[in-house]
Copies of this chain bind each other. A is one copy, B any other.
Amino acid sequence: MELWYTEKQTENYGITVKITNTLHTEKTEFQDLAMIETLQWGKMLVLDGMVMTTDKDEFVYHEMITHLAMNTHPNPKTALVVGGGDGGAIREILKYPSIEKAVLAEIDGRVIEVSREYLPQIAGKLDDPRVDVQVVDGIKYIHDNKDSFDVILVDSTEPVGPAVGLFARDFYQGIFEALKEDGIMVAQTESPFFNADLITRVYKDIAAIYPVTRYYTAAIPTYPSGLWSFTMGSKKYDPLEVDESKLIDPEGTKYYHKGMHKSVFNVPKFVMELLK
């Protein structure tokens, strides 16, 4: 008997993966949560039927949501991850020696607990003494912590269910206020192939608030279309203007290296058109 898990990434298209086991399934207060064991990608965390992360390709997303902002800021001491309950972005943030405090603001505590149990190589750094794990609505946390962070990463699920508010202009304004005067934010902003309208809107919203707005992509096999995007809003520092000799090569990365720090912003032409 063969068991396959199929995710419909759109109404008419999806990925399918052979599984050996469902390790855990539950309905949390916020969403359907599943941890499944797959042959191709190792363990796979699925929320509301959408692949969030896998053992084998998680490095792309976690490195790429983190290092463009962290390596652009010259001295990041405080960072906040909104969402990101699997702990992967926190793990990457801690690779910067300057970091003193990294806060995880995840609304669904069950995502954190299940990730700690099944994905220790991703979630293990949540136990670092510099990390403050908060089970809280990110929108409320942002509101209550003004002028506090050098870097804020919006590591959200897709813009349905609990994450809808994390794609709203008011939220990017709230992040602006929670950042210090030279802070940088990065939000995951879906697939250029499948989410063109959302990308155009979010880019426009962020550009209306932040002096520097940049957009880049990364290849994530288990995410819809395989091409994913991130939008950066920065109060002062421009990733395209950094002194490359000051960039670091964060330890143990598999996707990001400082040689790509500027080139990732050279996105395909049809994607450039979305940002006009």
Contacts and interface: CB of A to CB of B under 8 A. Distances in A.
Interface of A: 6, 10-18, 38-41, 57, 59-60, 193, 217, 219-221, 225-227, 253-257, 259-260, 262-264, 266-270, 272
Most chain B beta-carbon contacts within 10 A, residue among A12, A255, A267? A12
Contacts of A11: 18, 39
Contacts of A193: 57, 221
Most chain B beta-carbon contacts within 10 A, residue among A17, A39, A59, A263? A263
25 contacts: A12-B18, A12-B39, A13-B15, A13-B16, A13-B18, A13-B38, A13-B40, A13-B41, A14-B15, A14-B17, A57-B193, A59-B270, A219-B227, A226-B227, A253-B269, A254-B268, A254-B269, A255-B269, A256-B269, A257-B272, A260-B267, A260-B268, A262-B263, A263-B266, A264-B266
Given A6-B16, A227-B219, A259 B268 contact: no
A193 B270 CA distance: 24
